[in-house]
Amino acid sequence: MSTDLILSNARIVLADAVVHGHVRMQGGQITEIAAGHTAVPHAHDLDGDYLLPGLVEVHTDNLERHVTPRPKVHFPTLGAVQAHDAEVASAGITTVLDAIGVGDPYDEGFRSKDQSELLHALDKLDDAGLLRADHLIHVRCELPAHNARALFEPFARHPRLRLLSLMDHTPGQRQWSEIEHARVYYTGKKGWTDAQFEAEVRIAPERQLKYAKPNRAWFTDFAHTHGVALATHDDTTVEHVDEAHALGASMSEFPTTLAAAQRAKALGLSTVMGAPNVIRGGSHSGNVAAMTLAREGVLDALSSDYVPSSLLRAAWQLSDDAGFSLPDAVKVVTRNAARAVGLHDRGEIAVGLRGDLLRVRVLGSQPLVRETWVQGRRVA
């Protein structure tokens, strides 16, 4: 960890303004922010580039992609975790909540298996000083799965656990309200036949009735008892959001309709959408566009979801296309995301906060990461 680092000649993106100046970090924290040049000879000249808070990622499936890059292919865990870590750091992400799914109604794939090895790998790399970003855990709980609670057990007391999200991917509701979108996913990504999918549509409601309600109650109680942030996933109706509020959730992840997002905002839940949705101009599942929520004033935070590099680009797009000031757009991928999961020591360039910073140069309209610092130490 650097004892004294000064970043000068930067366009510093603060909470409410962009100022030209310099930032000093000592002992991993920001200790000074000042306008203008500095005469200190060892200052690091940023050549007029932007200086942002490090990006905060609350939901990424990228670790899962590195561990299982193809169906039924499992890469060595240490190498997969390190490759994922390097990718997120190079994308400017300094805090990442690795999303790990637990529970699979079909007993197939990554989420049907014990993933405690990932925790061991993260801890081992961290103890060796080999992690670049700060890694926390977001456990995604598939409520209709019979094995969700058993697969969650290794994460239950781990200090990295920061967020639980309640998911229900039963065809015919939430993300899969449109059955044909669900059919494309199951027959395309999972390789099911149409006959397999039709059989699933018939039996899924019975499985949901048997497992989803007791699992929802159990995971909700666990989150409140242990002080873990709680999110709901793919809220589609006002009733879904009302249920989330009644459960004490603080976040509505990927609401699929404008009405659900508006209700979440009214009830004080943070709304989180996918950065790829912003860049692509819409949802790959046919749900509401993230830009629609942004323009309606009901978007709080973005997640890179499955493309780490999308987070920074999407923030710039909010500034270019949705009428956000640059400081407000940056908050969507930094401070707002951090506060949604109870992290108050990062997400903003302010004295006393962590020295998690990001140097960005804009080429044309594309923001490009040049350097990343975590607690004052350069990691990319």
DSSP 322-357: S---HHHHHHHTTHHHHHHTT--SSSS--TTSB--E
**Which overall architecture, per CATH, does domain 1-52+347-380 show?**
Roll (2.30)
Q: What is the per-residue pLDDT for 328?
A: 98
Q: Where are the alpha helices (DSSP H) in the chain?
A: 62-67, 77-90, 116-127, 148-152, 179-188, 194-226, 238-247, 258-267, 275-280, 290-295, 310-321, 326-332, 335-340
The percent of residues in the chain predicted with pLDDT above 70, rounded, is: 94
Any idea which of 54-63, 193-202, 236-245, 252-261 has the lowest mean pLDDT?
193-202
Residue 1 has pLDDT above 90, yes or no: no
Q: What is the per-residue pLDDT for 117?
A: 95
- Tokens 């048997």 belong to which residue? 210
Residue 108 has pLDDT above 90, yes or no: no
Average pLDDT over residues 365-378: 97
Any idea which of 101-110, 152-161, 312-321 has the lowest mean pLDDT?
101-110
Residue 223 has phi, psi (to 5 degrees) of: -60, -45
Residue 339 has pLDDT above 80, yes or no: yes
Residue 362 has phi, psi (to 5 degrees) of: -100, 125
Any idea which of 102-111, 116-125, 302-311, 316-325 has the lowest mean pLDDT?
102-111
Task: Answer with the residue of higher pLDDT: 353 or 40.
Answer: 353
Kindly report, as residue ranges, where domains of CATH 3.20.20.140 are found in the chain.
Answer: 55-345
Average pLDDT over residues 354-370: 97
Give, in words, the CATH class of 55-345: alpha beta
Instruction: pLDDT band for 3, please (50, 70, 90 cuts).
Output: low
User: What stretch of H or E contains 51?
Assistant: strand 50-53
The pLDDT tens digits of the residues spanning 132-160 come to 999 999 999 999 999 999 999 999 999 99
Token code pair at residue 113:
């298996």
Average pLDDT over residues 190-207: 75
Task: Answer with the residue of higher pLDDT: 109 or 377.
Answer: 377
Q: What is the per-residue pLDDT for 178?
A: 67
Q: What is the per-residue pLDDT for 2?
A: 47
Quote the CA–CA distance of 377 and 112 in Å, as a whole number.
Answer: 37
Residue 52 has pLDDT above 70, yes or no: yes
Task: Say if residues 169 and 204 touch (Cβ distance below 8 Å).
Answer: no
Any idea which of 33-37, 38-42, 113-117, 133-137 has the lowest mean pLDDT?
38-42
The pLDDT tens digits of the residues spanning 212-233 come to 899 999 999 999 999 999 999 9
Any idea which of 85-94, 127-136, 194-203 has the lowest mean pLDDT?
194-203
Kindly report, as residue ranges, where domains of CATH 2.30.40.10 are found in the chain.
Answer: 1-52+347-380
The pLDDT tens digits of the residues spanning 245-286 come to 999 999 999 999 999 999 999 999 999 999 999 999 878 667
Task: Answer with the residue of higher pLDDT: 197 or 246.
Answer: 246
What is the DSSP-derived secondary structure letter of residue 112?
Answer: G
Instruction: pLDDT band for 121, please (50, 70, 90 cuts).
Output: very high
Residue 185 has pLDDT above 80, yes or no: no
Q: What is the per-residue pLDDT for 156?
A: 96
Any idea which of 45-49, 107-111, 149-153, 298-302 has the lowest mean pLDDT?
107-111
Average pLDDT over residues 305-325: 96
Residue 341 has pLDDT above 70, yes or no: yes
Q: What is the per-residue pLDDT for 285?
A: 66
Q: What is the per-residue pLDDT for 38?
A: 83
Q: What is the per-residue pLDDT for 175?
A: 64
Residue 169 has pLDDT above 90, yes or no: no
Quote the CA–CA distance of 22 and 44 in Å, as a whole number.
Answer: 9
Instruction: pLDDT band for 112, please (50, 70, 90 cuts).
Output: confident
Token code pair at residue 369:
């990461």
Q: Which residues of 47-69 are buried (b: 16+ CB within 10 A; e: fewer)?
A: eebbbbbbbbbbbbbbbbbbbbe
C-alpha 83, offset from chain centre: 18
